[in-house]
Amino acid sequence: MHPQDSMNVLNFGAAADGVTDDSAAIQRAIDAAAAHQGTVLIPPGQYAAASLRLRPHVGIMGYPTWSFREMGGSVLRLSDPTAQCLLDITGAFGSTVHGLCLDGQGKGQGVHGILIDKPDYGKEEDTPRLERCKVSRFTGDGVHFGRVWCFSVRHCMLDHNGGAGLSVRGWDGFVLDNWLSGNKGPGYLGDTENAAITFTGNRVEWNGGGGLRVVGRGSFNMFQITGNYFDRSGGPGIHFEGTHDRIPHVTITGNIIYRSGAPHGRALKDDESSHLILRHLAGLACTANTFRVNPDDGMKGLFSPQFGILYASLEDSVIKDNVLHKGALKQLLVDQGRHAAHVIVQDNLGSLHPPVAQSPGIT
């Protein structure tokens, strides 16, 4: 590697003591790297920083030694509670963020960890790559992509944020092998246009706003939801729902969806106590998933959900060969009607969970 290809922030004046404001030093390193499409190196340490702006074709790299509960390695800590985000990658085409911890420290209101915020999609693919990062304790979303075109989020932990773990407005994305854990909003949120998303191998757990939620106005199509583990979602594990036109081409296959419909301190609508809500879809294939009722860890708290799969307004769709062993408290499948042609719902085997005396302290 050419010496200029890796710009060590310590050489630009960063103190890495967690107290000194290192924003200017890190930004100088980013701007210097932009001159030759280089990579900024963040050595292990604590870096207090306000909002930073990544540049096109620049990498920013740290040492990913974080654990599930603790920050570790290269840690950027939000110092400005009035900031919109800690790391702004808007317009940073072809950038990579690798091996960093971003800690929002619960500061401010609606502050995102990593942000893309564009007025339109433009004529060039964004192509950001987030790899092996931990993004935690922001009052907004962990990662907020507003009008993103081509992206990947891999091997990251987006946890305990005030909004969603990952919020996406855009298309052509890979979300692979991540933890989306303990966020107050959904683990994954798409409430405007979303398309061509591959969502595979993720653990989506204990999110207050549900597991994966794609609901709202806009253009929705081409989702592949495969081989994930959805655990103790606050609402449905997976919720797909269009508003006017049906969302076309959704595959939900080979997932484990466990003890969905948890209240997590908020009142749920009746149908939110369910594993899946599938409404206004066309070209749906929902097959070979496994569902189970249970309470919190240690057999404490409320058993949930009340319902297994709720579905309505489908066209050219299949819900087949799913297993719901002790899969719901009240009803395994709830057909809410209004279907168009060619809908097959069959061979979904299972049983209701035996009645339990619901109590927050049940053991």
Q: What are the domain boundaries of the chain?
A: 51-63+74-352
Confidence at residue 12, expressed as pLDDT on a 0 to 100 scale? 97
Q: What is the pLDDT of residues 206-245, one digit of tens each?
A: 999 999 999 977 778 899 999 999 999 999 999 999 876 7
- Where b means 16+ CB within 10 Å and e means fewer, 270-282 reads ebbbbbbbbbbbb
Give me the numbers of helices (H) and strands (E) for the chain, helices first please.
Answer: 1, 34
Give the global pTM.
0.96
The pLDDT confidence band at residue 246, using thresholds 50, 70 and 90, is confident
The correct answer on CATH 3.30.930.10 for the domain covering 51-63+74-352 is no
**Stretch 331-346: mean pLDDT:** 95
- Where b means 16+ CB within 10 Å and e means fewer, 63-90 reads bbebeeeebebbbbbbbbeebebbbbbb
